[in-house]
Amino acid sequence: MKTIIKYVTLDLVRNKIMIIYALILAALSFSVLSIDSNSSKGLLSLLNVTLLFVPIISILFATIYFFNSIEFIELLLSQPVKRNKVLLAEYIGLAATLCIAYTIGIGIPLAILAPVYASVVLLVSGLLLTLCFSAIALLIFVLFKDKTKGIGAAIITGLFFTLLFDGLLIIFIYSFSDYPIDKPILGIISFNPVDLARILMLLQLDVAVMMGYSGALFKKFLGTATGSVYTVVCMLFWVIVPLFISLKIFKKRDL
Amino acid sequence: MRRAEVICFVLFVFVCTHANARNSKVFANSPGSLQQAIDKTMPGDTLFVQKGTYKEHDIHINKRLVIIGDNWPVIDGQNKYQLLTIEHDSVAVIGLQLQNTGRSSLTDIAAIKLLNANYITVRNNKLYNNTYGVYLQNANNNIVDGNIIQSNSVDELNSGNGVHAWKSAYLTISNNIISGHRDGIYFEFVTDSHITNNRSFKNVRYGLHFMFSHRDAYRKNVFMDNGAGVAVMFSKFVEMYDNTFVHNWGDAAYAILLKEISDSKIIHNRFIKNTVGIYFEGTSRIQVLNNEFKENGWAMRVQASCSENNFERNNFESNSFDVATNGTMMLNTFRQNYWDKYDGYDLDKNRIGDVPYYPVSMYSVVTEKIPAAMILYRSFITDIMDQVEKILPSVTPDQLKDDAPMMKSWNLQ
Give, in order, the Cα–Cα distances in Å from A55 to each of A49, A59, A118, A228, B24: 10, 6, 20, 20, 82
Q: How many beta-carbon contacts under 8 Å exist across A and B?
A: 85
Ordered per-residue pLDDT tens for chain B, 413 residues: 466 666 656 555 555 455 556 788 877 667 778 898 899 888 989 999 988 898 888 999 999 999 999 889 999 999 989 999 999 999 999 999 999 998 887 888 999 999 999 999 999 999 999 999 999 999 999 999 999 999 988 887 788 999 999 999 999 999 999 999 999 999 999 999 999 999 999 999 999 999 999 999 999 999 999 988 899 999 999 999 999 999 988 778 899 999 999 999 999 999 998 989 999 999 999 999 999 999 888 999 999 999 999 999 999 998 888 999 988 878 899 999 999 989 889 999 999 999 999 999 888 888 888 877 888 888 888 888 888 888 887 888 888 899 999 999 999 87
Alpha helices in B198-294 (DSSP H): none
Q: What is the DSSP string of B96-144?
A: -EEE-----SSS--EEEEEES--S-EEES-EEES-SEEEEEES--S-EE
Chain B contact set for A42 (CB, 8 A): none
Nearest to B21, CA basis, from B123, B92, B115, B127 = B92
Task: Determine the average pLDDT of the residues in A228-255.
Answer: 91
At residue A113, the 3 state secondary structure works out as helix
List of chain B residues whose C-beta atoms are within 8 Å of the C-beta of residue A202:
377-378
Residue B345, SS3 per DSSP: coil
Q: Distance, in angstroms, between A55 CA and closest chain B CA?
A: 13
Which residue is closest to B376 within chain A, CA to CA? A166
Write phi, then psi, for B145 (nearest 5 degrees).
Answer: -135, 135
Q: Is some CB atom of chain A closer than 8 A to the CB atom of B365?
A: no
> Smallest Cβ distance to A215: which of B369, B374, B379?
B374
Residues of A in contact with B381 (CB under 8 A): 163, 166-167, 170
Residue A186's closest chain B neighbor by CA?
A: B375
Q: In Å, how far are B143, B197, B266 from B172, measured between CA atoms? A: 5, 11, 20
**Which residue type is seen at A195?**
D
Please answer yes or no on whether A213 and B374 come within 8 Å at the CB atom: yes
Distance CA B237, CA B214 (A): 6
Cα dihedral value B373, B378, B383, B385, nearest 10? -10
Question: Which DSSP string do the residues of B141-175 spell out, in sequence order?
Answer: S-EEES-EEE----SSTT---SEEEEEEES-EEES
**CA-based nearest residue to B244, from B218, B211, B263, B265:** B218
The reply to whether residue B381 touches residue A163, judged by beta carbons under 8 angstroms, is yes
Mean pLDDT computed over every residue of chain A: 88
Nearest by CB: B371 against A52, A198, A214: A214
Picking from B327, B267, B339, B269, the residue whose alpha carbon sits closest to that of residue B302 is: B327
Q: What is the pLDDT of residue B128?
A: 94
- What is the structure's pLDDT at A228? 84
Of chain A residues 20-39, which have a CB less than 8 A from chain B?
Answer: 38
Q: Is the CB of A41 less than 8 angstroms away from the CB of B318? A: yes
pLDDT (tens digit per residue) in A192-214: 999 999 888 887 776 666 665 44
Cα A181 → chain centroid: 27
Q: What pLDDT, in 10s, does the model give residues A101-151?
A: 999 999 999 998 888 888 999 999 999 999 999 999 999 999 998 999 999
C-alpha distance from residue A26 to each of A11, A18, A60, B188, B379 (Å): 22, 12, 20, 57, 22
Residues of B with Cβ-Cβ distance to A169 under 8 angstroms: 375-376
Q: Among residues 219-248 of chain A, which lie with CB inside 8 Å of chain B? A: 219
A38, A185, A209 member nearest B375 (Cβ): A185
Distance (Å) of CA B70 to CA B10, B43, B82: 15, 21, 22
A177–B370 C-beta distance less than 8 A:
yes
**Looking at the complex, does the CB of residue B119 fall below 8 Å from at least one CB of chain A?**
no
Query: Residue B4's pLDDT is what?
Result: 62
Cα distances (angstroms) measured from residue A165 to each of B3, B253, B381: 68, 32, 9
DSSP state of B398: T
| B370 with A167: Cβ contact below 8 A | no
Residues in B closer than 8 angstroms to A178, CB to CB, are none
> What is the Cα–Cα distance from A119 to A110, expressed in whole angstroms?
6
CA distance to partner chain B, nearest, from residue A167 (Å): 6
- Check CB contact under 8 Å for B251 and A189: no
Using an 8 Å CB-CB cutoff, list chain A residues near B370: 173-174, 177
Distance from C-alpha of B249 to C-alpha of A115, rounded to nearest angstrom: 24
Asked if A44 is an interface residue toward chain B (Cβ–Cβ < 8 A), one would say yes
With residue A179 as reference, give the H or E element that holds it.
none
* Full set of structural domains in chain B with CATH: 97-391 (2.160.20.10)
Half-sphere exposure of B399 (CA within 13 A, CB side): 10
Please give the model's pTM, rounded to 2 decimal places: 0.82
Residues of chain A in contact with residue B373, where contact means CB-CB under 8 angstroms, are 170, 173
For A170, the closest of B249, B252, B373 (CB atoms) is: B373
What's the first-to-final CA gap in chain A, in angstroms? 20
Residue type, B265: K
Distance from CA of B324 to the nearest CA of A (A): 13
Show residues of chain B in contact with A191, CB under 8 Å: none
Alpha-carbon distance A135 to nearest alpha carbon in chain B (angstroms): 23
CB contacts, 8 Å: B372 with chain A:
173, 177, 181-182, 185, 214-215
Rg of chain A over Cα atoms, rounded to whole angstroms, equals 19
Amino acid at B140: N
Put simply, whether B251 touches A (Cβ < 8 Å) is yes
- Residue B318: partners with Cβ closer than 8 Å, 6 or more residues away: A41, B294, B295, B340
Q: How far is B67 from chain A, CA to nearest CA, in Å?
A: 48
pLDDT given for residue B126 in this prediction: 95
Instruction: Choose the mutation target among B301, B379, B388, B395 for the interface with A, i.e. most A CBs under 10 Å.
Output: B379
Query: Does the beta-carbon distance from B377 to A211 stay under 8 Å?
Result: yes
For A53, name the nearest residue in chain B, comparing CA atoms only: B380
* pLDDT computed for residue A199 by the predictor: 84
- What's the CA angle centered on B127, arms B123 and B129, to 5 degrees? 170
